Structure 1
Amino acid sequence: METNIRFTHKTLVEKCKTGHSSSQYQLYSLYVDAMYNIGMRMLGSKEDAEDVVQDSFVDAFKNLSKFKYESTFGAWLKRIVINKSINHLKAKRILAVPMEDHEYHLKEEINEEPIAAVDIKKVKAGMAQLPNGYKQIMNLYLIEGYDHKEISEILDISTATSKSQYHRAKKKLVEIINEL
């Protein structure tokens, strides 16, 4: 019998829906570290990440009746954490790097030079030095795996803006890494 991944931890989720507190704790224990890592990548602050993760779990447990197994519980919770992180950044007025009055139309760079193997520590250090707007786009696209259409919906920007911000962020990251 083949198991559908969307129903991972279904028993725990269903017990949580009935208010079973030890099941809530088990579900929390399974996902807290991964959600904290997402919060840290998005926010860059331990305290902010902890707050957002706690708020996300509270919201998730309050709204479990809305969870219909259209995705895994982890994916649903991840979306909550990302949305709360973005709202937290918006509240702090840390938005995507502003665009000029016109949008850039990016073309595929056919003759890009191959990038040499880079030390992961340099990449992490470079990511930490990126402006917050660039870091946000890089995290959503490269780390979290969202495409530009999804990013545009999450951040309430155009798809072209998402693509150009990503292109600029990538270029800036390469510059930073080369200086390290």
Structure 2
Amino acid sequence: MLKNTKYRDVHHHLIVECKKSSRMAQLEIYKLYYKAMYNTALRILNNQSDAEDVMQDSFIVAFERIENYREEGSFGGWLKRIVVNNALDIVRKQKPTTQLNEQNEPMSTEQEYCIESDCRLEDIKKAMAKIKNEYRIILSLFLFEGYDHEEIASILQISYGLSRTRYSRARQSLISTIRELQKEREMKWA
């Protein structure tokens, strides 16, 4: 428990120094968070160059707006929200989305699928790259970033029900794509 308190004190000190525009404190914050923020952007954008740009831009925005951070939640959560919003802005600019009437479609009642134990991380990464952009985004936000459907609905500006529907479809699409990749690998080795 003492370790956690010490971390909070150091973290708090860095935030206070960042609010005073300390470049050293900003560098320390950057070192603490850049990998996680890059990975967050990469999972949404599926493009290293865009992810790097979003990460850099997000740190700049965070340091410019650090006075708005009230320390009610974690700094990492506040920064991640900036990264997610910036990444989604890129997605929106790259490909205009068409609104499908998914809200009115019933949720699938199919049984839960299990991914086989021989599923490789490589297969998951390849499958994530192959599925629809909107599916990759919702899976990333829900599974990797830990947002719930209410938060996802707010971030993506969709309804709660549509968030759940897209997540269900995204999960099914991912599993199907992983199975295809596994079959391809098995045929290759047969």
Q: Shared topology, TM-score over 0.5?
A: yes
Provide Cα deviations, 1:40-88, integer angstroms capped at 9, x if missing partner: 1111111111111111111111111111111111111011000111111
Unaligned runs of 5+ in 2: 182-190
Q: Give 1:135's aligned amino acid.
A: R
Which of 32, 52, 55 lines up with 1:53 in the alignment? 55
Query: What is residue 89 of structure 1 aligned with on the other side?
Result: 91
Which of 63, 75, 80 lines up with 2:82 in the alignment? 80
Unaligned runs of 5+ in 1: none
Please report how far the alpha carbon of residue 113 of structure 1 lies from its aligned counterpart in structure 2 after TM superposition: 5.4
Q: Give 2:55's aligned amino acid.
A: V
Asked if the contact 2:44–2:136 (Cα under 8 Å) also holds between the matched residues in 1, the reply is yes
More helix by share: 2
Query: What is residue 167 of structure 2 aligned with on the other side?
Result: 166
In structure 2, C-alpha distance between the alignment counterparts of 1:171 and 1:89, rounded to whole Å: 22
Please report how far the alpha carbon of residue 26 of structure 1 lies from its aligned counterpart in structure 2 after TM superposition: 1.2
Asked if the contact 1:35–1:53 (Cα under 8 Å) also holds between the matched residues in 2, the reply is yes
Name the % identity. 38
Moved over 4 A (4+): 4-8
Deviates more, 1:4-13 or 1:55-64: 4-13
Query: What is residue 116 of structure 2 aligned with on the other side?
Result: 116
Asked if the contact 1:105–1:160 (Cα under 8 Å) also holds between the matched residues in 2, the reply is no
Query: What is residue 157 of structure 2 aligned with on the other side?
Result: 156
3-state secondary structure, aligned to 2:73: coil
Q: Tell me the matched-pair count.
A: 178
In structure 2, C-alpha distance between the alignment counterparts of 1:70 and 1:37, rounded to whole Å: 24
Q: Give 2:67's aligned amino acid.
A: S
- After TM superposition, the score normalised by the length of structure 1 is 0.89
3-state secondary structure, aligned to 2:63: helix
Note closer, same or farther for the CA distance 1:150–1:8 as it changes in structure 2 (3 Å cut).
farther
Note closer, same or farther for the CA distance 1:137–1:94 as it changes in structure 2 (3 Å cut).
farther
Q: Give 1:20's aligned amino acid.
A: S
Query: What is residue 67 of structure 1 aligned with on the other side?
Result: 69
